[in-house]
Homo-oligomer: A and B are copies of this chain.
Amino acid sequence: MTAPGTLYGLGLGPGDPELITLKALRLLRAAPVVAYPAPTGGASFARSIVSEFLSAGQLELRVDVPMNPDPQFALKAYEVGAAAIAEHLVAGRDVALLCQGDPFFYGSFMYLFGLLASRFRIEVVPGVSSVMAAAAATGVPLVCRDDVMTVVPATLSSDELEKRLESASGIAILKLGRHFSKVRDVLDNLGLLERARYVERASLPEQRMLPVRDVDPASVPYFSMILVHRRQDPWASEET
């Protein structure tokens, strides 16, 4: 009997192919099977990050995920994907599963992980988060010393957002998209608008940074975020 293969969850970073780690690159190149989720009919962002490193001898396994907001549709799709990945693992082939950013930080990797973790050996390779890439782009620190960092998805309600943000020193608000106006109003209420920085597609050639005030809410993609740091100078005493 063949020993089962290992599933590698490879964190590939925020988008710039140069921001992948040496470890992710080594495991990617060694994997006979490369799997990645992709929106039905669209391209896989994770695959685009490492397309230059893939070789013709590698088998590619695309996991089609419908963009239907009902999670039952996604669950079905991930079950189909998990079964296809499991087949390779059972046959003794290692599978590299591509994940933009970090696999365990809001990654869609978690769905396949949840379906396969009880049956197979899984190794997760951490990656550079888009939060760190966005902070690097703005040139403003996220958190230092005794700061508290809070990361919230923009999908929360205004009340919930306000409650979470009122006491944080460093803030990252992810998954903006159509939630942008709501988030902008919450930041305005909290007096944080002037300190808030908007970053779109951090680390990619299309990267864009704007003061939050100047952003057209109609143009905000999913891959965008707002960063706020209450304390600008690491030597200054706490403001709040």
Q: A132 to B127, Cβ gap below 8 A?
A: yes
Residues of B within 8 A of A103 (CB): 136
A147 to B103, CA, bound (A): 15
Partner of A102, one of B104, B113, B132, B153: B132
Q: What 0/1 readout, one digit per residue, does chain A (115-140) give for beta carbons within 8 Å of chain B? A: 00100001011111100110110011
Instruction: Write out the residue numbers on chain B whose beta carbons fall within 8 Å of the beta carbon of A19.
Output: 21-23, 125-126
* Cα A110 to Cα B150 with chains together (Å): 19
Chain A: number of interface residues, binned into ranges:
35 or more
Distance in Å: Cβ of A199 to nearest Cβ of chain B: 12
Among A9-17, A87-95, A189-197, the stretch that binds chain B is A9-17
Q: Could you tell me the distance in whole angstroms from the C-beta of A73 to the nearest C-beta in chain B?
A: 13
In the complex, the answer to whether A106 meets B21 with C-beta atoms within 8 Å is: no
In addition to A13-B21, A110-B141, A145-B153, 8 A-B residue pairs with Cβ atoms within 8 Å of each other are: A21-B21, A75-B235, A104-B141, A105-B143, A105-B149, A126-B128, A127-B128, A129-B132
Q: What B residues does A151 contact at CB under 8 A? A: 143, 148-151
